[in-house]
Amino acid sequence: MKPAVRIRTKWLAAGIAVAGLVVVLFAFDPKTHPFFPACLFHRLTGWHCPGCGATRAAHELLHGNFAAAFRDNALLVCGVVGAAGLLPVRWLRRRGGQTLGWQLRPEWLWLMLAGLIIFGVGRNLPAGDWLAP
């Protein structure tokens, strides 16, 4: 098997897995169906990690309930909106034969990590309890 075929097979498998997850998240509300895994960090510490509420937020996003999704996990909603805003730009540049002009650089990864930590700490502080799910 050629490497390109193997890569396409992996992307196809990943796409099928994501599509299956989307179908399950759309069909079953995590608030009422207990088979979704609970957050181990929250269970052990009582604090909200940056991902707490993300499953509920994804369910609400799939149903177009943006306000409810934002209340469940504002970081997920901002990340989805940001990614959705960047993908058309990337697609248009690629379609036009241009090089991307931007790439995921280490500084951006450090910035995202800092945002993740600030969000995770902030939603556990009294002033940031509006960020808690």
CA atoms within 13 A on the CB side of 97: 0
Q: Which is nearer to Zn ion, 52 or 61 (CB)?
A: 52
54 scored as a contact of Zn ion (CB under 5 A): no
49 scored as a contact of Zn ion (CB under 5 A): yes
Amino acid occupying residue 106: P
Q: Which is nearer to Zn ion, 6 or 31 (CB)?
A: 31
24 scored as a contact of Zn ion (CB under 5 A): no
132 Cβ neighbours under 8 A, 6+ residues apart: 48, 52, 53, 123, 124
User: Which window, 19-27, 40-48, 99-107, 119-127, contacts Zn ion (CB under 5 A)?
Assistant: 40-48
101 dihedral zone (left: phi>0; alpha: psi -120 to 50; beta): left
Instruction: By CB under 5 A, name the binding residues for Zn ion.
Output: 39, 41-42, 49, 51-52
